[in-house]
Amino acid sequence: MLASRPSLADLAGQQWDLIVVGGGITGAGVLLEAARQGRKALLLEQRDFAWGTSSRSSKMVHGGLRYIAQGDVRLTRDALRERERLLRDLPGLVERATYLFPLRKGRFPGRWPMTAVLSLYDFLAGIRDHRFLSRKELLRRVPGLDDTGLSGAMSYTDALTDDCRLVIRCLLEAARVGGRSLNYARVTDTRREDGVTRVTVRDEVAGETGELSAPVVINATGAWANRLGANRSGEGGAETPRIRPLRGSHLFVDPARLPVDDCLTVMHPRDGRPVFVFPWEGVTCVGTTDLDHGDDLDLEASASGAEVDYLLELINGQFPGAGLTRDDVLSTMAGVRPVIASGDGKDPSKERRDHAVWEHDGLVTVSGGKLTTFRLIALDALAAAGLLDARTARRARRSNAPLFRPLPQAPSQVDRFLHAVQDDDALLRWVLENEAVVHLDDLLLRRTRLGLLRRDGGEGLAERLRALTGELLGWDETRWRQEWARYQDLRARFYGVPPAERAAA
């Protein structure tokens, strides 16, 4: 598993075929596919696994209806096929969910355009489960929804997951076939010498610096992609794609104040953007926004007061009787999407979600793309790195072989994302023993979501967690107090509810 933490000296003494930099879903997918192909591969992550975008997405494993509207049928087809694969391979962690798109008289799109799009959507996925709901049936399923001009809704399915647990699951599967990974290992420099790329690494836990090498390094750092290659790019090679960091923020709302059973796609009254309102891990999630993110990428992204106002405006507009305020928000979550910029400065929501792969002097960089298509992105990166020939890459893309197998001796909850089991002792023990927890926030904000989903941020579990971390991680009272203070500060600063007067970023 991921339990034992190797030293840099141990890693430096080994011959690697590939070093992957970046421990989000893209890097984890690259590590898994490389290890499955028999390559000796190592992944390095500067913070915790999934610390960045891959624990802060909208939690959706979906094809993307709007990509059809943008004319990108291939992206939608690939995403839908991968969605069906993940539903098959990870039942419980990836769960099919019903989505409802309310229709209102005189507003685009109407019933028949949506029917045509959803017919194509289902055809590409190889299923058929869309249908029209009458106005009466919709209001029965979504009580409190604004009924002004309401004519019904289109119903279809996509899927939900816990994005961080999906990353961890990829790393666990990679470890079973020889892949290695190390969190809190910051790559500070890369250089090419004699056909080998050398990376300088700082182990933030041990306080040590070392040098590792491999014939190929894949930069899968997402929004940080241009930073890693900045000292070696642009010398006679192709133009480097520009990453446009876009922030998406979400609210987790008390389900007693906003109960929903299905995923709703509703249009914001201010700008007509689609926003999702859906049940997730026992709470109601509302999101997302789509803004250029100009803050320091090394700081955790956080929702602005203006974004909270924007999402509350949507809720209270679509559910006029709800009257939600900041007091009903349990926590917030913001992530930075690494979107490949089109160069024309257009509306962030209209940027395409394709991924890009480029290479310069032994450093292969991959960025952009969707959570759902992480496996295909990984295969493209490995092909660009010369670790997969064209024939093998094509065969792997078309393969329907299972990507994941049951984890031996693991509690069944490891492959589930249901909130009801997240404070189960068996699961907490497994996570602490097998999933490379270094800090308390790793456990409460990512491996489990207890810090986001409970109004007290998990304070009611403090005594139990103190005993478990002492027993399993060897934390003494001083370490526990340090970790608890660190966690509370992070949660308040980056996952709390900002005041209304805070300016938008």
149: left (phi over 0), alpha (psi -120 to 50) or beta: left
Pick the CATH number of 97-160+243-345 from 3.30.70.20, 3.40.640.10, 3.30.9.10, 3.20.20.70: 3.30.9.10
pLDDT at residue number 457: 92
Q: What is the pLDDT of residue 240?
A: 72
pLDDT at 408: 80
Alpha carbon distance 308, 315 (integer Å): 11
In this prediction, residue 347 carries a pLDDT of: 63
Tens-digit pLDDT profile for residues 29-39: 999 999 999 99
What pLDDT is recorded for position 27? 97
pLDDT value at residue 297: 87
Which pLDDT does position 362 carry in this prediction? 78
Q: What is the pLDDT of residue 505?
A: 39
pLDDT at 68: 86
Whether 411 and 426 have beta carbons less than 8 Å apart is answered as yes
Given this model, what pLDDT does residue 18 score?
97
Q: Say what the pLDDT of residue 83 is.
A: 96
Using the structure block, give the residue that is written with the tokens 């024939």: 391
What pLDDT is attached to residue 502? 46
Q: Which helix (H) or strand (E) holds 347?
A: none
User: Two tokens at 425?
Assistant: 């002792």
**In the chain, domain spans:** 8-54+164-242+350-398, 97-160+243-345
* Tens digit of each residue's pLDDT (9 = 90 or more) over 242-273: 888 999 999 999 999 999 999 999 999 888 88
Per run of 10 residues, the mean pLDDT along the chain (length 505 residues) is 86 96 97 96 98 94 86 90 95 95 90 93 94 97 95 96 96 95 96 92 96 96 80 50 90 95 93 93 94 90 96 96 95 92 64 79 88 96 94 91 86 66 78 95 95 92 96 98 98 93 46
Pairing state of beta strands 150-161 and 60-61?
antiparallel
175 by DSSP, 3-state: which?
A: helix
- Reported as a single tens digit per residue, the pLDDT across 372-424 is 999 999 999 999 999 999 899 999 999 889 999 888 877 777 777 555 456 67
**Reported CATH class of domain 8-54+164-242+350-398:** alpha beta
Maximal CA-CA distance, the chain: 71
DSSP secondary structure string, 394-448? HHHHH----S--PPTT--GGGG---GGGTT-HHHHHHHHHHS---SHHIIIIIIS
Peptide bond into 109 cis (omega under 30): yes
pLDDT (0 to 100) of residue 231? 44
Q: Return d(Cα 306, Cα 300) in angstroms, integer.
A: 18
